[in-house]
Amino acid sequence: MFVLAPEMTNAPAGALSAGQALAAQDPKTAKRAVAARSNGRLLDLSAPAAPEAELQPVLPGEPAALEVLRHSTAHIMAEAVRALFPGVKVAIGPAIQDGFYYDFAYERPFTPEDLPAIEAKMAQIIKGNQPFQADSWDRQRAREFFAGRGEQFKVELIDDLSEERVGIYRQGDFVDLCRGPHLPSTGRVGAFKLLSVAGAYWRGDEKRPMLSRIYGTAFFDKKELARHLALIEEAKKRDHRKLGRELELFSFHEEIGAGLVVWHPRGMILRTIIEDLERREHLRRGYDMVSGPQLLKRELWERSGHFDNYRENMYFTQVDEVAYGIKPMNCLAHMLIYKSKVRSYRDLPLRYFELGLVHRHEKSGVVHGLTRVRAFTQDDAHILCRPDQVEEEILGVMDFVTDVMALFGFDYTLELSTRPEKSIGSDQDWERATEALSKALQASGREYEINEGDGAFYGPKIDVKLTDALKRSWQCATIQCDFTLPERFDLHYVDADGGHKRPVMLHRVILGSIERFIGVLIEHYGGAFPLWLAPEQVRVLTVTNRADDWARRVQQALKEAGIRAEADLRNEKLGAKVREAQLMKVPYMAILGDREVEERRLTARLLSGQNLPAQGIKDFIAHLKQEATEPLMRLRRQEASKPGV
């Protein structure tokens, strides 16, 4: 049994702890506090309060409090696991976005069947309301302590720390290396649930041991937990893999292969709508449409650096003794188009756009629905420009992104990724490219984060992460700055002074992968697409077969007006037809019974269940046309009709 150290960091006798200091300010609030904040740093309530420092309570409701709670719950889980599974070694257990996890090494991996017992033990620990006691040891002592327990992961963590003294937390007989802070006691955990188990490499490195990870989440009260679990349920309902099958959009087949999408009629029309919009918008913004082949000689991939840096993601084949590679990116053909004639500085920028199908060999464990596939279509473009045009071009792309994200109702965040370990090009080029991107980011006035070492192998990039209706984030658009490929392919233009200069290349996508984007869209809208995207916009429903003739005429009139309309003339009750149209999330039903036949009208029903007053075909079409105008088009029309334009 572990005995408490004499050098506790708890407030020494006579001095005020942070909790006591807060209580002196406002006893009621101090009771609710889970930690304290002093000069922006989080402290345990038991920590000594520096008398001159400003002290604020960290209260339930703010993100930092949830983080403390979840981190503490991770410790409680570790205590429970140690108690239930003797010999288990603990690794790390942080709070994460929606909960927490803890990694363990045990003689066997944990399974979902283990979770109820761990939960029960945790509930017991929480009921025991043990205090979290903070301490600070010198590293040697901590190292010996954990080494003595056989906790080799903790020893490794201590060895990597530079501080002379390390934080130690204890609750019950569980002692952990930890920065803190923690809840005052285990009883403050209001509600928690263990969610899943998974394998995870020690420190995320596939060459190191595979540990057994348990995920869970925690909240201050049961209602919040229930709300969170309901959100997980909602996400399951919106899962694009499920909706894709139910709405007959696409399918996957074991016979075809993992990560290879088959588009059905309803999914293909959705793609076509989006792709048409893309073509139109790219042409409007000064891009040219181009297209390259699927198969290019391996030699070319060697020249571009893809063979050295991207080979494990590529498929290769041989044709008449010559080695070929299937394209994982579209840039090579675009560069050869550029090279096909002498370019003047006046020609630049050149913007080559291709809806290009690329194949990438993803590891078998990572393919996932439409969001991670092995063949996908990029709305790809390569902008070749003069160095002095780079910033403006990047801003142009960002403007494009802003418009398109608004069109679908997505919010987004920006990230700048810098040079990775595996990369080509000179330090100077990387510096110039990174500089160009960050200048454009600053000029855009939007905030952004920096991801060190996360760039493409040929250049740094700006990633756009959109946020969907369920507040999840997805990477779609990316802008990459490349000084290297123009070099390798010896691209140049004739400058004003007659000299040959090197153009800069920007790789960029707006939606990224059409497949992934549609997957995201399906979940964003929960399958209920806005009228302009809906594969089937109207379903004509008859009450009895006396309305069949009128129904056929209505459907035909709608089709002639360019509306995607189907008719359900089956000998079924209206309720059954409504139900099916509802399940397929068809935005409008046109209901025809004896009354409508008599008056040559129709009654429109919305997905919400609301009925519009009976109306004639012309009025209905006008109504649909108005609503179905794709929003960007509507915007353009408004702009065009402004006086003085």
Partner RNA sequence: GCCGGCGUAGCUCAGGGGUAGAGCAGCUGAUUCGUAAUCAGCAGGUCCUCGGUUCAAAUCCGAGCGCCGGCUCCA
Select from 181, 79, 93, 68 the least CA-distant residue to 125.
79
Active site residue: 461, 516, 577, 605, which one?
A: 461
Paired residues of 277 in beta bridges: none
Measured from the CB of residue 319, what is the shortest distance to RNA in angstroms?
A: 24
162 versus 571: smaller Cβ distance to RNA: 571
Supply 369's token pair: 């629905």
Query: Is 360 assigned a catalytic role?
Result: yes
Active site residue: 44, 103, 176, 380, which one?
A: 380
DSSP state of 5: -
Asked if residue 392 lies in contact with residue 405, where contact means CB atoms within 8 angstroms, the answer is no
* Helices of type H across 251-311: 265-284, 298-304, 306-310
What 3-state DSSP class applies to 346?
helix
64 versus 258: smaller Cβ distance to RNA: 258
Angle at the Cα of 81 from the Cα atoms of 76 and 82, rounded to 5 degrees? 100
181 versus 259: smaller Cβ distance to RNA: 259
DSSP state of 16: P
CB count in 10 Å sphere of residue 375: 17
DSSP state of 47: S
133 versus 478: smaller Cβ distance to RNA: 478
366 versus 622: smaller Cβ distance to RNA: 366
Measured from the CB of residue 539, what is the shortest distance to RNA in angstroms?
A: 12
Select from 592, 575, 587 the least CA-distant residue to 624.
587
Q: Which amino acid is at 316?
A: F
Query: Is 378 assigned a catalytic role?
Result: yes
Measured from the CB of residue 468, what is the shortest distance to RNA in angstroms?
A: 14
Give dist(CA 524, CA 511) in Å, integer: 14
Select from 512, 508, 574, 527 the least CA-distant residue to 546.
574
31 versus 595: smaller Cβ distance to RNA: 595
Measured from the CB of residue 164, what is the shortest distance to RNA in angstroms?
A: 29
Measured from the CB of residue 482, what is the shortest distance to RNA in angstroms?
A: 12
Active site residue: 378, 389, 537, 555, which one?
A: 378
Q: Is the dihedral of CA 291, 294, 295, 297 positive or negative?
A: positive
Measured from the CB of residue 16, what is the shortest distance to RNA in angstroms?
A: 41
252 versus 324: smaller Cβ distance to RNA: 252
Give dist(CA 17, CA 1) in Å, integer: 27
Active site residue: 75, 306, 507, 601, which one?
A: 507
Active site residue: 89, 240, 282, 382, which one?
A: 382
Query: Is 380 assigned a catalytic role?
Result: yes
Select from 314, 71, 274, 316 the least CA-distant residue to 179.
71
Active site residue: 82, 306, 351, 360, which one?
A: 360
154 versus 516: smaller Cβ distance to RNA: 516
Q: Is the dihedral of CA 233, 238, 241, 242 positive or negative?
A: positive
368 versus 439: smaller Cβ distance to RNA: 368
Measured from the CB of residue 365, what is the shortest distance to RNA in angstroms?
A: 2
Measured from the CB of residue 484, what is the shortest distance to RNA in angstroms?
A: 15
Measured from the CB of residue 606, what is the shortest distance to RNA in angstroms?
A: 9
Supply 14's token pair: 């006579």
Q: Name the residue with tokens 């600070």.
A: 136
b/e 245-272 (16+ beta carbons within 10 angstroms → b): eebebbebeeeeeebebebeebbebbbe
Query: Is 331 assigned a catalytic role?
Result: yes
* Max Cα-Cα span within the chain: 94
413: phi then psi, degrees, rounded to nearest 5: -125, 160
Select from 218, 142, 158 the least CA-distant residue to 183.
218
Residues annotated catalytic, as ranges: 331, 360, 378, 380, 382, 461, 507
